[in-house]
Structures are given as C-alpha cells and as structure tokens.
Amino acid sequence: MPDSTSCCHATGGYCQRCDLLVGLPGLHVTGVHRDDAGLRVEVESRPPVVMGCPACGVVAHAHGRQRVVLIDAPCFTAPVKLWWRKRRWLCPEPSCPVTSFMEQDPEVARPRALLTSRATSWAIGQMRRENASVQGLARQLGCAWKTLWRAVRPVLEAAAADETRFAGATSLGVDEHVVRHEALLYRMEVGDLHWLAVVAAK
Ligand SMILES: [Zn+2]
Ligand SMILES: [Zn+2]
C-alpha cells in the first residue's frame, strides 16, 4: 500500500505514537500481540549512556536482558500483560557487594511486583470509587484474586496507617465508604474463605 500511513515504519527507532498510546514514560513499545487472553505489550528502555552501580557508583557493564512479565491495567476491553525486557548490569568493582543488578523503575513497578504500579492504583480506585470486588477486578486484569490482593494490601495498609487522612472529617460519605470497603478487605484477608466467596460473587 503506497499510501500507507502506518505509525510503525520507522526502522532503528521507537514509535512515538505507540509509546504515547501505552503511556509508560521511559519505556518504548517494541511489539504488540493480541489473542484470546488479551493484549501483550513488549517494552524496553533506551540504553543509558552510562549506568552506575547503585551500591558503589562504579560504571557498570551491560549484561544482557531479562524478560519480566507484569500485569498492567486493562485496555481496549482486554487484559494486558506487559513484557518488559529489563537490562541487566554487572558491577566490575571487586570489593562491591553488588555483583549484578537489574534495571528498576518504581514508577512502572516496584521490584518483584507482579502488577504494574498503575494497575495497582487502578484497582484501588475501582474498589474505592466503584465498589468493585477483588474477584471482579482480578477477572478484568486476567489474574487470580490472590495476586491482586497481594498487590493492593500493602497500599491499603499504608493508607489505613495514615490516620491523618481522616482527621477533621465531619461528614460521612465517600470516606465512610472507603473505610467500610477496606474493613471488608481486611476481613477477607483473615481467611473466611466461604464468606469471601459470597463477597466475590456480589
Ligand atoms: Zn506505532
Ligand atoms: Zn558496585
């Protein structure tokens, strides 16, 4: 098609429009695949000019990539898996306790997280504002409810510990709803699985 205006014909570079669509600053789309399970978006970062060891600061050596699969927020009615080709690095300093390390970006996902940071935020927003169930959200994300719960629990616990959040509240409404929903989630966590099934089915 000589009149094709495909956004992805640029060779040797990244596609600005695909990057804009996916919206993960610092990461570039290298591939997209869609099947019955949902969307798979492959991303990588641009190679840094120089990478310092996080422990000693010595210039590290590139040591290949490792694919990390993350559950991202659903998009275009489909669950999304993010395939992030993370860069690995070696620290050449013999006295450094860090021999190798992997690219990290907590804006995208916390180390060892299974969900992206925005997927976690999205799920918590759905719980708080839309009264969504963990089971229903997990279905939309294409993961097990336990996987989602492990991601949201520490965030909810941190929010619950921040008592100042409710200081000065004079009326019940959205805040009351948030408190009730979080209390519900805590009850789920203590292990009443039968009761959980009832909650999840609502
Ligand atoms: Zn493109
Ligand atoms: Zn080092």
**CA 4 to centroid of chain Cα atoms:** 34
For position 20, what pLDDT does the model report?
95
Range of the domain at 140: 113-202
Tell me, yes or no, whether 29 lies in a domain: no
Per the prediction, the chain carries an average pLDDT of 84
Name the amino acid, one letter, at 116: T
Tell me, yes or no, whether 141 lies in a domain: yes
Report the distance separating Cα 69 and Cα 26, nearest Å: 17
At 177, is the pLDDT very low, low, confident or very high (cuts 50, 70, 90)?
A: low
Please give the distance, rounded to the nearest whole angstrom, from the Cα atom of residue 197 to the centre of ligand 1: 42
87: CB partners within 8 A, 6+ apart: 44, 45, 47, 51, 62, 64, 65, 102, 103
Does position 195 have pLDDT exceeding 70, yes or no? no
The ligand with the least distance to the CA atom of 101 is: 2
Does position 178 have pLDDT exceeding 70, yes or no? no
The ligand with the least distance to the CA atom of 60 is: 2
Total structural domains in the chain? 1
The ligand with the least distance to the CA atom of 98 is: 2
Tell me, yes or no, whether 132 lies in a domain: yes
Query: What are the pLDDT digits (tens) for 35-90?
Result: 999 999 999 999 888 999 999 999 999 999 999 999 999 999 999 999 999 999 99
Please give the distance, rounded to the nearest whole angstrom, from the Cα atom of residue 14 to the centre of ligand 1: 8
For position 159, what pLDDT does the model report?
82
ipTM over 0.95: no
